[in-house]
Amino acid sequence: MTSISRRNLLRTTTLAAAASALPRVPAQPAASPIRLGLASYTFRNFTRAQSIGFMQKMDIAALNAKDVKDHLPMEPAAEAQAMADYAKAGIQLHAAGTISFAKPDEADIRAKFEYAKRAGVPVIVAGDPTDQTLPILDRMVAEYDIRIAIHNHGPEDHRWHSPLDVLAAVKDLDPRMGCCIDVGHAARAGTDVPEAVHRVGARLFNMHVKDLTDFSSKESQVAVGQGIMPIRGIFQALTEIRYPGFVDLEYEIHPDDPLPGAMLSFAFMRGMIAGLGSRGNHA
């Protein structure tokens, strides 16, 4: 593991102490329809073996894997070894991505669907499809019966600012064409995230969750629960639409030492889910 500075060590110690002080909450409250997972980009500076160890410490067994480091390589033999390692650790892949679909090249797009098919995932999170690639994707989702969840990337993205842009583009396409709502980027684009959950509805296939202290600043990310993201409202909306997918933590800060913040994030979200369930707000 990468060595950490004295400053990072102090931050790690503080966060770890805070995480240990939180009340123990079951890994997945039984009454809740909300299922928590991890976006492997969180551990982008760490190997697959290290990431598996981190997931076991967090009691998380659902993974949205990306072709970063050796998390889920595109090459078939290496991909098969990754799948064997995850299976041995009791980790189930539910999505792959984000995956680029910027080129309207049918052979390239088909290769990426084959990659997802080998992994046995029902959802591909698409990072940057274009208006030219959408018709190809529309045909491929029907052929492979794999859903495409287009990821919004906020105000900097020239095409996919918010999940509402995605919804407008796919509303007349195959029902397997839908959204991955990144709540941080959506909020920075001025989107009311709970409202967007309701509007996207059945076309919501994946969610990336994070927290911010300032919706005008991408750099203000903090552990979930330490910012101003309306997590309760988002989870309530997911419950109300009976969202069947996963809510994947994508913790993008402190890439050389993400575990303490990730642990805090999951502890907060589990507590929130348990609170919603205790009030009877579940499917």
Q: Predicted confidence band at 243 (pLDDT cuts at 50, 70, 90)?
A: very high
pLDDT computed for residue 239 by the predictor: 95
The pLDDT of 209-222, averaged and rounded, is 97
Q: Predicted confidence band at 158 (pLDDT cuts at 50, 70, 90)?
A: confident
Over 90: is that where the pLDDT of 280 sits?
A: no
Among the listed ranges 159-173, 181-195, 267-281, which one has the minimum average pLDDT value?
Answer: 267-281
Instruction: Identify which has the larger pLDDT, 258 or 7.
Output: 258
Q: Predicted confidence band at 55 (pLDDT cuts at 50, 70, 90)?
A: very high
Q: Predicted confidence band at 25 (pLDDT cuts at 50, 70, 90)?
A: very low
Instruction: Identify which has the larger pLDDT, 20 or 68.
Output: 68
Domain ranges of the chain: 29-278
pLDDT computed for residue 86 by the predictor: 98
> Mean of the per-residue pLDDT values for the chain?
90
| pLDDT per residue as tens digits for the range 221-239 | 999 999 999 999 999 999 9
Rounded to two decimals, the pTM is 0.88
| pLDDT per residue as tens digits for the range 105-140 | 999 999 999 999 999 999 999 999 999 999 999 999
The pLDDT of 262-281, averaged and rounded, is 84
Q: Predicted confidence band at 32 (pLDDT cuts at 50, 70, 90)?
A: low
Q: Which CATH class is domain 29-278?
A: alpha beta
Supply the DSSP string of the chain, one letter for each residue.
Answer: -----HHHHHHHHHHHHHHHHSPP--SS-TT---EEEEEGGGGTTS-HHHHHHHHHHHT--EEEE-SSTTSS-SSHHHHHHHHHHHHHTT-EEEEEEEE---S--HHHHHHHHHHHHHHT-SEEEES---TTTHHHHHHHHHHHT-EEEEEP--TT-SS-SSHHHHHHHHTTS-TTEEEEEEHHHHHHTT--HHHHHHHHGGGEEEEEE-EES-TT-GGGEESTTSSS--HHHHHHHHHHTT--SEEEE---S-TTS-HHHHHHHHHHHHHHHHHHHHTT---
